[in-house]
Structure 1
Amino acid sequence: MLKNVPSSDGLPFVYMDAPCSTRGFSMTNDIRPILVFGASGRQGGSVAKALLKAGWPVRALVLDPLKPASIALRDAGVELVPGSFEDTDVIRAAVKDTHGVFSVLPANLAAEEEVRYGTSIADLAAERGVAHLVYSSGASVGDKLTGVARFDAKPRIEAHIRKLPITATIVRPMIFMEMLVRPGFGLDEGRLLSLIRPDHSIQLTAVDDIGKFIAAMFADKPRFGGVTLKIASDMVTGLELEAAFTEVAGRPIAYARLPDDVFAANADLAHMAKSLEDGPLAERVDLNAMREINPEILSFRTWLAGSGRQALVHALGTSAAHQPE
């Protein structure tokens, strides 16, 4: 069972003392749909897939219903609602008669756009009397604002949600495994350059796992409502990353931390690296508790050999400049 206890930042810290699972879950008393934002992307797509598998009707806001990703959603049984984040009236109508809303914002938004859209979605969910809002924030969120608009957008949305008359769950995924297989971090040269020192550890989240976590949360609002929860799938050191990449790639892949001059030139990467040493990203997620929520949790090695393999193959043969998440 999940319990909330005070933490140093005033937010609930969550621990588990009994298994939590969607097995045996029945929705006979409430079969209203869940509105999923970002369903044509990775996080939202993972959530839509998991919710459908769990038996929820799923509704999705899509910019272009004729794009292949949208058509795939429709073919899977998702109800498509054409519109953009700017279309308040469309979103208001889409939220009507839903049980829940999953809110995630695109990574390429400007900070003020992210705050505006994130708070607007939450406001509309509260206005429409939605039973459960789940917002995907970020694990780099801490108890203090940084003064950098990009990093402070998500905590501003979190703070707004907590003031609303709605049952909400806020999830903070740790760094995505997908970040490690993007072109531009040295894999095409037989090395992996990343954020931690070789003997230090990093917790990672598989996007494939996010949907399963979220489905479990929608299945048990009394347990997860009002909770702010960091989520992760695995923890590995730089040397363990080296071993996993070498094994799956079938050739030696040496691990090293990104050079200091890269951090000096890229504020986003520098912020993440510092946070991994003494900030919010250094805080440890209880992986046993994660496994109780999602029994199918993926290890990094399993993910890399499975759904991550295609991206790895692409990165092994591609050279590009370093790009932030």
Structure 2
Amino acid sequence: MSKLISVFGGTGQQGGAVVKALLNDGFKVRTFTRNTESETAKKLKDCGVEVIKCDESKPKEEIEKALKDSYGVFLVTNSSGYPDKETEYGCKVADAALLSGVQHFVFSTLPDPRELSNGKYNDFIDFNSKVDIEKYIRNLSKQNSHFISSFVSAPMYFQNFKTYFPLQKHTDSKDGSTYYSLDLPGKPDLKLDHGDINDLGPLVSEQFKNPTKYSGQVIPLSAQELTGPELTDTFTKVLGKKVVYNYVPSKEYAKSNVYVEAPYIAHLYDYFSENPYFGHFDNTISKKILKLTTFEEFLKKSNFQLD
């Protein structure tokens, strides 16, 4: 009989990738959403996913009931959806999973900027919350040997160039030709871990298939460490249009309207300029488990288009 995995955030990018991979690997899947009649929820139902109206904000008893008969749980928490409650909600789901008899809990975590920067960067709430949830889950596993926990960590998504960091369109003043720029506050030689978030799904499925092997481990998804110019060179190669990298110093970027959360992104890149994206995590692990999608492959298969 196929094991049942309950997935939080199944209508989002990380959760959606996990749902797809689990189905492909023969697991039964249950997911939770606030709106069971949304188009995404309906599509999941059509794929054989059990969709239940529930989310992390519900009382622990209700979550415990929703997790009934689940062998495993995948949890990704939403920093933007409930920034002040993320740690509370994440720990509550872990408690509910333990009480409901879940045997394997996989959480999407992040490195700890507070530790890596010796306290210099201690105000990244989204990072801090996930680190605190991870520590809580690890402690539950330590106290309850039957409750295995494993972890994944997401990189800079290739998908972000379709949403958060769209290319800017320009007209050359000399010849009137059109070109595009990628404007970011990272110096041209700054390498950051990138990947196709869809590859996170098979990594999580691999953890559920091999619980003992991956017990306590963090698997960071890192297909490539890329600089800004390496990204724009790939855009140019695949799309056949001129794309250049435009380094915008963080103080200037923070005041711009390039992105709605520009001050946060500027501050984040200041941190990345001093610390590796994945910090103390081993960013080579995922490549040993799965053939990961490169940026060039992503652009081709996603039919990426410029206006």
**Contact 1:185–1:194 at 8 Å: present in 2 too?**
no
SS at match of 1:191: strand
Q: Superposed, which structure 2 residues align to 1:253-292 within 5 Å?
A: 253-265=243-255, 266-281=262-277, 283=279, 289-292=285-288
Equivalence for 2:300: 305
Shift of 1:126: 1.5
Which amino acid is the alignment partner of residue 294 of structure 1?
L
Question: Is contact 1:140–1:272 with CA below 8 Å preserved after alignment?
Answer: no
Question: Aligned partner of 1:273: which letter?
Answer: Y
Which residue matches 2:258? none
Q: Does 1:85 align with 2:50?
A: no
Matching residue within 135, 152, 168 for 2:128: 152
Tell me, in whole angstroms, the C-alpha distance in 2 between the residues paired with 1:141 and 1:131. Answer: 30
Cα distance in 2 between the residues matched to 1:229 and 1:195? 27
Matched residues in 2 for 1:68 and 1:55: separation? Answer: 24
Relative to structure 1, is the Cα distance of residues 167 and 142 closer, same or farther in structure 2, using a 3 angstrom cutoff?
farther
* Counterpart check, 1:74 vs 2:70: no
User: After alignment, is 86-95 or 157-166 more displaced?
Assistant: 86-95
1:40 Cα deviation after fit: 0.8
User: Could you tell me whether the CA contact under 8 Å between 1:195 and 1:272 is conserved in 2?
Assistant: no
1:199-278 → structure 2 map (5 Å cutoff): 199-265=189-255, 266-278=262-274
Amino acid at match of 2:101: G
2:27 aligned with 1:52: no
Q: SS at the partner of 1:256?
A: strand
Task: For 2:294, give the aligned amino acid.
Answer: S
Q: Indicate the residue corresponding to 1:130 in structure 2.
A: 102
> How far off is 1:213 after superposition?
0.7
2:78 to 97, 106, 112: 106
Partner of 1:177: 158
Counterpart of 1:5? none
Return the alpha-carbon distance in structure 2 between the equivalents of residues 142 and 222 of structure 1. Answer: 30
Q: In structure 2, the residue corresponding to 1:222 is in which secondary structure?
A: coil
3-state secondary structure, aligned to 2:161: helix
Whole-angstrom distance in 1 between the partners of 2:138 and 2:47: 34
Q: 1:126 to 1:142 in 2, by over 3 A?
A: farther
Cα distance, 1:64–1:101 mapped onto 2, change above 3 Å? same
Distance, in Å, in 2 between the alignment partners of 1:197 and 1:277 is 8
Which structure 2 residue ranges, 5 or more long, are not aligned?
171-179, 256-261
1:35 touches 1:100 (CA, 8 Å); kept in 2? Answer: yes
Uncovered stretches (5+) of structure 1, i.e. residues with no partner: 1-27, 318-325
- Aligned pair in 2 of structure 1 residues 284, 239: CA closer, same or farther (>3 Å)? farther
% identical equivalent positions? 27
> Which AA in structure 2 matches 1:161?
I
User: What is the CA distance between 1:269 and its match in structure 2?
Assistant: 1.1
- In structure 2, relative to structure 1, the CA distance for the partners of 1:215 and 1:240 (3 Å cut) is same
Correspondence for 2:14 among 31, 37, 43: 43
Alignment correspondent of 1:188 = 169
Q: Give the alignment's Cα RMSD to 1 decimal.
A: 2.3
